[in-house]
Structure 1
Amino acid sequence: MKYTRLTKEQLEELHPEFITFLATQTIDKKEWDKLKDKSPEIALQEIDVFSDLIWDKAITNVRFIDHFSKNHIFLFKCHDTFLESIIVHTSEDSVDFFTTEGLEWLGNNLFSDAVTIQTGKKEVSENRNEEVFKIIENGGIISKGDLYSKLTTLINVS
């Protein structure tokens, strides 16, 4: 597997797509029930293949990921062959970027000595989706890129 197996809940949500997938494998309901009963390892392999297809399609469409920790914000813009990043860090131990107050503090202190901002770029031409998946798996949240865009504008203006 390239990614992770979809959960039972995710599979239930994607039930019509899974039925279509099984049909492309020439597996009808009767055959699927027999597989689950007599060859559960093969049934799991089918679920794994389907999971990879779903993850691959979803991740291909991801353009922005936000990852927050107490004193860091990692923002990613995902292109086809590279990832751009903005990393915001504060040395203020009392600030918590998980809270509204922490983000308000950041807005008021963005250009103070207590905040460092770094930018980066990483080439990922062959395994783009796997790299993006690792970020999501480690706590990244798919976003619309609002914070990334705002910070890019602020950094470039100042």
Structure 2
Amino acid sequence: MKYRQLTKEQFESLHQEFALFLATQSIDVNEWNLIKEEKKQVAKDVMCVFSDVVWDDVLNKTKYVEHFSKTSVNLFKCDENEIYRIAIKINWDINLLEQKGFEWLMKNPMDNSVDIFKGSKSYNTDRNIEIFDLIEKGSSLSKGEIFEYFNKLIS
């Protein structure tokens, strides 16, 4: 397995897509029910393959991810061959996880208590695996507005 199996909730939300996936494998609903009952490992393998297909589709489309903690933000732009990072660290007691703290940062990005670092690197392994690793470590997909805002500020 390339990534990880989708959660039960993710499978439920992708019920129609999974049914289509099974159809492309020439597996109808009756056969799927039989596989689940009598061939549990085969059912698990099919679910793992579907999970990888879904993750690859999502990750191929991913352009930005971000990770917020109480006093720092990591913003990533994921190009085809390189990943760009803007790291922001707040040097006083503020909580960026709360609306008030986030709004303060957006209004005061050049405050003396704000350190901003920028860098980039080529992917060490497969692009999608590196982005998936960021997601597994708590990052979330984004539209990139915050990355682009800070990128313009520091460029």
TM-score normalized by structure 1? 0.91
1:105: Cα distance to partner? 2.6
Q: 1:12 & 1:98 partners in 2: Cα distance?
A: 29
1:81–1:126 Cα contact (<8 Å) kept: no
Residue of structure 2 equivalent to 1:130: 129
Residue of structure 2 equivalent to 1:97: 96
Q: 1:70 & 1:51 partners in 2: Cα distance?
A: 32
1:65–1:145 Cα contact (<8 Å) kept: yes
Q: 2:99 & 2:30 partners in 1: Cα distance?
A: 53
Residue of structure 2 equivalent to 1:84: 84
1:28: Cα distance to partner? 1.6
Deviations 1:37-76 (A, max 9, x none): 1111110110000000001001110111111001110000
SS at match of 1:48: helix
Q: 2:136 & 2:81 partners in 1: Cα distance?
A: 20
2:147 alignment partner AA: Y
Residue of structure 1 equivalent to 2:20: 20
1:25: Cα distance to partner? 1.8
The more displaced of 9-18 and 106-115 is 106-115
The more displaced of 10-19 and 46-55 is 10-19
Residue of structure 2 equivalent to 1:47: 47
Percent of aligned pairs with the same amino acid: 39
Structure 1 vs Structure 2 CA RMSD: 1.5
Q: 1:46 & 1:14 partners in 2: Cα distance?
A: 14
1:112: Cα distance to partner? 3.0
Deviations 1:101-132 (A, max 9, x none): 21233234422331111111121175100111
SS at match of 2:85: strand
- 1:62 pairs with 2:59: no
The more displaced of 48-57 and 100-109 is 100-109
Question: What does residue range 116-155 of structure 1 map to in structure 2 within 5 Å?
Answer: 116-124=115-123, 126-155=125-154
